Amino acid sequence: MRLLDGFTRKNKEERLSLSEFLAGQQPNTLGFLESQEATIEEISNHEAENPSQRKASSLGKIMALVVVLAILIVGAGIMFHKNKQKTGNTPEMILVEGGSFQMGSNDGDDYAEPIHKVTVSSFWIGKYEVTQKEWMEVMEYNPSERKGETLPVENISWYDAVEYCNERSIREGLTPCYSGSGSNITCDWNANGYRLPTEAEWEYAARGGSKSKGYKYSGSDKINTVAWHSGNSGRRTHEVGGKNPNKLGIHDMSGNVFEWCWDLYGSYPSGVQTNPHGATGDSDRVLRGGCWDASAGYCTVSYRGLNDATSSYSDIGFRACRVSP
């Protein structure tokens, strides 16, 4: 992971304090510049009266100008960074009202068994998969194999997605959710920044939350109306939002690209759960939703995929979520 939360949070505090200092002290800074100009003028007058001190005074004048120039350069850089933090558009989010649902499937898919009752709290989730434009606004590079601003970003690892969430949080003045490094990444579930959805949150949203109609895919039993998959995609990603949304107004939760979830992969428990955060001990992270080169069976709301957190492929992307106040 290239960017640790502890590091980014520290940098955020330092950058903001410097920016606030400069913004609050601009009148004083201008006053300082004026005082330097007056001082230089006094030095010049003194030189005329005392020719023997002219050489030493000239050196002092040069040093004063160097200090002033350094202040202006540093100040301009800090103000540029402060303005840069505010660039870009906030991703469009959908509020998912909390509730309970039956998670999993008994349709012969061992990985999705047993069906068990899960309750999740309210949260916000991306209306679309994170696009390449949104990614570029924050990360300033594009790893995707097929390029296009409105295409989902892909070819990213789980760690890349976590890094993006923290960076976007910082740029929007929110509290980052993630800290740690490597296999020791932890999540502050009360932080108001961006994060990956848990597997339970993802499935609840894909099913339509409290508006669920029990569809096999996210929004319909007819896959071609809601998903880009191997049978209709032309073996490529497509612009987000190109298919019908589900009952909550969320697009592409079936097909287009697989989506990283927070959870480590593991067998489902049989008991009732509230806001579960996944298994422990495994090294693989959960993938959901199917993709452009997967058959229909992989695009159901209950299908569970997995991959190593360091893996990145052209059929893997993600969508972000946030806690609901």
Cα dist. 159→6, 95, 170 in Å?
A: 15, 25, 17
State pTM to two decimals.
Answer: 0.75
Residue 274 buriedness (CB in 10 A; 0-12 / 13-18 / 19+): exposed
Q: Which helix (H) or strand (E) holds 287?
A: strand 284-288
Residue 282 buriedness (CB in 10 A; 0-12 / 13-18 / 19+): middle
- On average, the pLDDT of the chain sits at 82
Rg (CA), the chain: 27
Q: pLDDT, tens digit, for every residue of 192-242?
A: 999 999 999 999 999 999 999 999 999 999 999 999 999 999 999 999 999
**How far is residue 269's CA from residue 114's CA, in Å, rounded to a whole number?**
7
**How far is residue 242's CA from residue 227's CA, in Å, rounded to a whole number?**
9
Q: pLDDT, tens digit, for every residue of 5-16?
A: 332 333 333 333
SS3 39: helix
Looking at per-residue confidence, does 17 or 48 come out higher? 48
**How far is residue 58's CA from residue 297's CA, in Å, rounded to a whole number?**
81
The strand pairing partners of 179, in sequence order, are 186
Pairing relation of β-strands 178-179 and 186-187?
antiparallel
The amino acid sitting at 195 is R
Nearest one of 309, 283, 19 to 158, comparing CA atoms: 309
Q: What pLDDT band is residue 63 in, cutting at 50, 70 and 90?
A: low
**How far is residue 162's CA from residue 303's CA, in Å, rounded to a whole number?**
22
Query: If you ran DSSP here, which 8-state letter would residue 148 be given?
Result: -
